[in-house]
Amino acid sequence: MDVIDAIRSRRNIGRLEGEVAAHTIEELVELATWAPNHHLTEPWRFTVLSGAERERLGRIWGEIAADAQSLAGSARDEAIHRDVQKLLRAPVLIVVSTRTDPDPVVAEEDFAATAAAVQNLLLAATAFGLGAAWRTGRIVRDPVVKRHLGLDEDDRIVSIIYLGHPSGPPPQGRPRNVDVVLRWYRS
């Protein structure tokens, strides 16, 4: 698949299955790090969770979220169960984070570079015939979650990439209307 087809056919896939080999994940991460990066700061980190590690994270987050809502008893158990299930929607989770430079301009550019790295990874996964989803939510801002993942509190999680094999063809994307977003200045 060439890059043009990958760009057009990549979709956020809700449910993914199967296994993904470690060498494939390593290659995807290597491809991600070809992203543009001002001053070559290499701000990105990729933390891979598979197997029971997904459930461990889901439980930690579920308990935090349930406590924030003051849930108790079976309501608490059910809410935690739902959060665990969410993290089991793919066999592999890649938490893509970026460091936060003390200089806000560098920090902003590092965040942008890391977002570009995420897109590289998503496109490469599409080209490999894999499916992926870019997800965030409140979980990405939680300090306890960051600590659990070995991240610093001021690191920012740009994406939790859900990765696996799609069970069918990707849904069609909606048509694009370039006229709405494109402005020309030419004389």
Ligand X SMILES: Cc1cc2nc3c(=O)[nH]c(=O)nc-3n(C[C@H](O)[C@H](O)[C@H](O)COP(=O)(O)O)c2cc1C
Distance CA 63, CA 69 (A): 10
- Residue 128 contacts ligand X per CB under 6 A: no
Q: Which stretch binds ligand X (CB under 6 A): 1-9, 67-75, 82-90, 135-143?
A: 135-143
- Residue 11 contacts ligand X per CB under 6 A: yes
CB of 168 to ligand X, least distance (A): 14
Q: Which DSSP state fits 12?
A: B
Distances (CA, A) of 50 to 11, 14, 28, 161, 162: 22, 17, 16, 12, 10
Which residue's CB is nearer to ligand X, number 136 or number 167? 136
Q: Which of 135, 151, 161, 166: binder of ligand X (CB under 6 A)?
A: 135
Distance CA 87, CA 50 (A): 10
CB of 170 to ligand X, least distance (A): 8
Buried b (16+ CB within 10 A) or exposed e, 82-107: ebbebbebbbbbbbbbbbbbeeeebb
Which residue's CB is nearer to ligand X, number 135 or number 146? 135
Q: Which of 18, 51, 137, 150: binder of ligand X (CB under 6 A)?
A: 137
Which residue's CB is nearer to ligand X, number 128 or number 134? 134
Nearest of 168, 160, 171 to residue 86 by alpha carbon: 160
Q: Which of 36, 143, 150, 173: binder of ligand X (CB under 6 A)?
A: 173
Which residue's CB is nearer to ligand X, number 128 or number 185? 128
Q: Which of 12, 24, 33, 41: binder of ligand X (CB under 6 A)?
A: 12
Q: Amino acid identity, residue 127?
A: A
What are the backbone dihedrals phi and psi of residue 95, each rounded to the nearest 5 degrees, phi first?
-85, 115
List residues binding ligand X (CB under 6 A).
11-12, 134-137, 173
